[in-house]
Structure 1
Amino acid sequence: MYKNIEKKTKLLLKDQVEYQEGQVVSKTLVQNDYVSVTVFSFDKGEEISTHASGGDAMVTVLDGTGRFTVGGEIFILTEGETLIMPKDVPHAVYGEEQFKMLLTVSF
């Protein structure tokens, strides 16, 4: 079930979180045993350090440019680009500039 978001309303996902200086901001839209859907904003230079997920994670950049390190390999993504980060593979996310992303994790 979706939460924290209007239903039956046309919207832009990138407008669901604002940039905040020196911060990573997140808004969870779905969280259950099968899937997690979260929108994030990263200020330039902010990051989520290396970690692994218990499910396959798909990120789509909604605005700006982000750097994703997956299993030691670096990927630079810009608006509209998507990357799959496999379950149990260490990954990190860094704001090359301010950017927003949609994260969907399937368990």
Structure 2
Amino acid sequence: MGEQGSLFGKLVALSSLVDYQKDAIVSRTLLRNPSGHIVLFAFDAGQELSEHTSPYEVMVLAVEGEADFILEGKVFRMKAGDMLLMPPNAPHALKTLTPFKMLLVMLRSGGEG
């Protein structure tokens, strides 16, 4: 189970699980299993993710700060508490305006529900 197992059954402040680093992007995998994974990111201000795609259904939850999330060419200004759902294979990118933390939940599509 490793590090992710150490979080089971514990109440934690989400933002405290990853720290900012100057001019960097830091990530911490909170859970990984065959259905998908959950990753917490901390971006310093001015960091970017170039446009890419993912085979997963994705939920992006802004935890701290502010960023522009570009989904299929449309810009969404995200701030703490905002959520965005993304279909599989949708082109997307990110540009941070301030130090920014986000939770990414990636699920394999085609599951029951």
Using structure 2 for the length normalisation, give the TM-score: 0.88
Check conservation: 1:51, 1:91, Cα contact below 8 A: yes
Quote the residue 1:26 is aligned against: 27
Quote the residue 2:85 is aligned against: 84
Deviations 1:14-59 (CA, angstroms, capped at 9, x unpaired):
1100010000100001122212100000000101111101011111
| SS of residue paired to 2:16 | helix
Q: CA deviation at 1:4?
A: 6.4
Equivalent positions of 1:1-107 (< 5 A) are 3=4, 5-107=6-108
Of 7-16 and 89-98, the range deviating more from structure 2: 7-16
Unaligned residue ranges in structure 2 (runs of 5+): 109-113
Percentage of matched positions with identical amino acids = 34
Larger radius of gyration: 2
Q: CA deviation at 1:67?
A: 1.1
Using structure 1 for the length normalisation, give the TM-score: 0.92
Runs of 4+ in 1 over 6 A off after TM superposition: none
Q: CA deviation at 1:86?
A: 1.3
Q: CA deviation at 1:61?
A: 0.5
Q: Distance in 1 between matches of 2:6 and 2:99?
A: 22
User: What is the aligned-residue RMSD (CA, Å)?
Assistant: 1.5
Alignment size in residue pairs: 107
Q: Distance in 2 between matches of 1:103 and 1:6?
A: 17
Q: Distance in 1 between matches of 2:73 and 2:33?
A: 29
The AA in structure 1 aligned to 2:26 is V
Q: Distance in 2 between matches of 1:5 and 1:92?
A: 31
Unaligned residue ranges in structure 1 (runs of 5+): none
